[in-house]
């Protein structure tokens, strides 16, 4: 495996300014992401956490996922008063979801390892599985290569309503059939049988899609000490009860503060994915298996947007105290809950997450907390040998292929095979036809107005005929060079599918099938700078 830093310049204005420590954006955060972490450690040591209860809960939770010894040992280390965590999270996607989920885990493990050595205290990598999220359509599929395109391959199970992912019963029979059909599309390698058995074993042990995800993750990271947590776990919710009360009591400051921050960001020209309103409750209430997002109405009541439920603040606090399993966090309050549960040295997030964390400083301040350092995760593009050969053959730099795609290279290459250039020749002929046709149009118009219109249609017909011939000639050229053009399409599908980063569409199963889980282990064990934007990985 060979790893190189790639200079990828396409970033949002917010993320670019954040990396460069621009004052305009840094005032929205409490820490610069790449500074010394010692001040953050000192701040955390002044706080108290339910370390023993949390550790016991994590032990119980992780044993059911067959967590490796390294992970259980790290859960024990959480009891140490000087231990801290690096945390990041994601929904529990099928077969781990897109590659960026694995990239995020690698980032968490890398930073934890580096900072443990630097700070000389236990630093534990924690991955927060957002099991309470209810958007099943986001996680119920992977994309598979199909000729020169990626196609969506969805699970057969249908889910109605807005159930949390961790509460959706896993249909093992239909999921196994889905896995079988997926493997029919994979090439047979020395790793295929082991991978297939590993997936079926993980499926057999699981009751939910979150379980399935967790079992697979631990097979990919058996020795790195990664700790998983399911945010939808009912025992965890009981631990969170008192924190829900704090969120309820401080809702006004949280909502108004984040709304104002979002407006200030907008005025500075920064885009943000959050759609905030001043009356947002930033909590969900669970009723009949569905999550209902709460708002504060004009009377100060907590209500669903369809007014299907209504609570006073006192009633909602009683629910938090007696039935906290009926509540869950949204994107604004989830980071605060992580902060209240864990001594968080740093949060690792994707580009979009860094963007919405920019509005959260007032929410943390409402509970007398500082935001942890927020670090953009590592980003990788994996380059297989046959793709590398195609890049070399057409003299395309990897950075160009990843940043811009290769469609322009493809069209320019095809133009070089045209002598003379077909499009330019076609345009020249259309110009000459238009010029030669001019006297005829004028004569027709002079005889009768409707004949002038007919003459214009006649010209349009002649131009369409030339355009048709141009397309047929180019199509024949494409057929003559089908093999070469397919190589350009291969580069596109592999490195920049659907005009986006590889990590957002490719699932790791394809590389695991070809190279085994070792490529993930090797990459995790490399020392990579968290400050770099993007890496090319030759496997």
Task: Please enumerate in sequence order all residues whose Cβ is within 8 A of that of 213, keeping only pairs 6 or more positions apart, or say none.
Answer: 92, 93, 94, 96, 97, 129
Widest CA span in the chain: 99
pLDDT at residue 289 in the model: 81
Distance between CA 286 and CA 383 in Å, rounded?
Answer: 44
**Cα 394–chain centre separation:** 31
Q: How many residues does the chain have?
A: 539
Cis bond upstream, residue 420 (ω within 30): yes
Burial class (CB in 10 A: 0-12, 13-18, 19+), 299: exposed
Residue 161 has pLDDT above 90, yes or no: no
pLDDT at residue 164 greater than cutoff 80: no
As a whole number, mean pLDDT of residues 178-196 equals: 96
Q: Indicate the burial class of 48 (C-beta count within 10 angstroms; 0-12, 13-18, 19 or more).
A: exposed
The pTM of the full predicted model, rounded to 2 decimals, is 0.91
Residue 368: count other Cβ atoms within 10 Å of its Cβ. Answer: 8
Strand order in the sheet with 380-383: 2-6, 534-538, 380-383
pLDDT tens digits for 335-375?
A: 999 999 999 999 999 999 999 999 999 999 999 999 999 99
Output the CA angle 517-523-527, nearest 5 degrees. 155
**What is the CB neighbour count within 10 angstroms for residue 444?**
18
Whether residue 266 has pLDDT greater than 70: yes
pLDDT at 147 over 90: no
Cβ neighbours of residue 53 closer than 8 Å, sequence gap 6 or more: 239
Strands 302-304 and 310-311, sheet pairing: antiparallel
Q: Which of 225, 230, 212 is nearest to 69 (CA)?
A: 225
Mean pLDDT of the chain: 94
3-state secondary structure 391-424: HHHCCCCHHHHHHCCCHHHHHHHHHHCCCCCHHH
Cα–Cα dist 519/507, whole Å = 14
- 303 forms bridges with which residues in the sheet? 295, 310
Q: Does pLDDT of 37 surpass 80?
A: yes
């Amino acid at each position: 495996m060979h790893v190189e830093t790639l200079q990828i310049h396409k970033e949002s204005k917010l993320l670019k300014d954040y990396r460069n420590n621009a004052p305009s954006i840094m005032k929205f955060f409490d820490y610069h992401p790449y500074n010394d972490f010692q001040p953050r450690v000192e701040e955390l040591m002044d706080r108290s956490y339910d370390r023993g209860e949390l550790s016991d809960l994590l032990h119980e939770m992780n044993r059911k996922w067959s967590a490796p010894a390294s992970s259980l040992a790290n859960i024990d280390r959480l009891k140490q008063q000087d231990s801290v965590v690096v945390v990041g999270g994601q929904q529990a996607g099928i077969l781990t979801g897109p590659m960026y989920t694995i990239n995020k885990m690698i980032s968490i493990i890398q930073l934890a390892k580096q900072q443990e050595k630097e700070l000389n205290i236990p630093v534990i990598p924690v991955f927060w599985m957002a099991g309470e999220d209810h958007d099943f359509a986001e996680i119920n599929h992977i994309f598979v290569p199909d000729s020169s395109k990626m196609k969506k391959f969805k699970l057969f199970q249908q889910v109605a309503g807005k159930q949390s992912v961790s509460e959706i019963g896993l249909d093992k029979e239909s999921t196994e059939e889905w896995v079988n059909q997926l493997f029919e599309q994979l090439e047979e390698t020395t790793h295929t049988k082991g991978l297939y058995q590993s997936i079926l074993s993980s499926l057999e042990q699981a009751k939910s899609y979150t379980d399935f995800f967790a079992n697979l993750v631990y097979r990919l990271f058996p020795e790195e000490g990664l700790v998983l947590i399911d945010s939808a776990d009912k025992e965890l919710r009981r631990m969170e009860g008192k924190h829900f009360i704090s969120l309820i009591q401080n809702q006004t400051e949280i909502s108004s503060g984040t709304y104002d921050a979002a407006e200030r960001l907008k005025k500075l020209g920064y885009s943000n994915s959050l759609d905030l309103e001043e009356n947002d409750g930033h909590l969900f209430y669970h009723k009949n298996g569905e999550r209902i997002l709460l708002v504060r109405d004009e009377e100060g009541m907590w209500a669903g947007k369809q007014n299907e439920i209504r609570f006073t603040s006192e009633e909602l606090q009683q629910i938090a105290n007696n039935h906290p399993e009926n509540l869950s966090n949204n994107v604004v309050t989830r980071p605060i809950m992580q902060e209240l549960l864990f001594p968080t040295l740093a949060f690792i997030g994707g580009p979009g997450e860094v963007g919405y964390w920019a509005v959260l400083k007032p929410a943390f301040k409402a509970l007398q907390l500082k935001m942890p350092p927020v670090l953009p995760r590592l980003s990788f593009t994996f380059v297989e040998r046959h793709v590398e050969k195609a890049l070399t053959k057409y003299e395309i730099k990897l950075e160009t292929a990843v940043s811009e795609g290769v469609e322009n290279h493809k069209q320019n290459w095809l133009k070089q095979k045209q002598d003379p250039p077909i499009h330019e020749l076609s345009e020249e002929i259309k110009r000459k036809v238009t010029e030669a046709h001019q006297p005829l149009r004028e004569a027709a118009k002079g005889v009768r107005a409707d004949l002038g219109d007919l003459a214009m249609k006649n010209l349009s017909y002649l131009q369409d005929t030339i355009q048709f011939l141009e397309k047929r000639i180019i199509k024949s050229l494409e057929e003559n060079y089908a093999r070469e053009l397919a190589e350009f399409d291969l580069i596109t599908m592999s490195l920049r599918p659907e005009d986006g980063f590889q990590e957002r569409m490719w699932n790791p199963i394809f590389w695991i099938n070809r190279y085994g889980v070792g490529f993930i282990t090797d990459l995790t064990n490399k020392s990579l700078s968290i400050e770099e934007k993007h890496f090319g990985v030759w496997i």
